[in-house]
Amino acid sequence: CGGAVMDLFGDLRRMNKRQLYYQVLNFAMIVSSALMIWKGLIVVTGSESPIVVVLSGSMEPAFHRGDLLFLTNFHDDPIRAGEIVVFKVEGRDIPIVHRVIKVHEKGNGNIKFLTKGDNNEVDDRGLYKEGQNWLEKKDVVGRARGFLPYVGMVTIIMNDYPKFKYALLAVMGAYVLLKRES
């Protein structure tokens, strides 16, 4: 590992300033392109988080830990029982992926609904903020429209092992900075 680090610094020293600036600029373009794609997905899907990773086994067998979900959140679409939603509740940072099991629609168009994980014994009222018995449309981050199985395991591994995340980011950054055009 120490030899690889020395090689990295040796490569950096051999680059002239123009090459180094070019590589830094190249890296910045990759990062800004990724951010633009993400913002574009937010606009197209109507969801503040168009892609999420399932972090627990509460939705098995429909979704497993590490599945990558694609979300939309068009406010004109009514929420229906049986639909899988991703929602945020006050006091929790991480959104929850569960199925709508009951919907109450009032005459004025207000909708309240109750969720439950397919693999859970009880509904989600214990997960909602204290005193809250139902979710509303404002709590919904998105609705599951498709998924890729286990693709999100990389995210889970990076969250469980932060050193791995930083090592992976360092290797990717070094690769982009040191990659020479053919």
Which residues 6+ apart lie within 8 Å of 46 measured at CB?
72, 73, 74, 75, 142
pLDDT averaged over 10-residue windows placed end to end, the chain, 182 residues: 58 69 85 93 92 94 94 89 94 92 86 95 93 92 94 87 85 75 52
Report d(CA 177, CA 15) in Å as an integer: 10
In this structure, what DSSP letter does residue 58 have?
A: T
Query: Hey, what are 156's tokens?
Result: 């889970």
The CATH code that applies to domain 51-149 is: 2.10.109.10
Predicted local confidence at residue 7, as pLDDT: 63
Predicted local confidence at residue 62, as pLDDT: 93
Entry pTM: 0.75
Q: Which residues are catalytic?
A: 58, 98, 124
Report d(CA 86, CA 80) in Å as an integer: 14
Q: How far is CA 12 from CA 21, 26, 140, 177, in A?
A: 11, 15, 47, 9
Domain ranges of the chain: 1-45, 51-149, 151-181
Nearest Cα neighbor of 58 from 21, 84, 36, 30 is 84
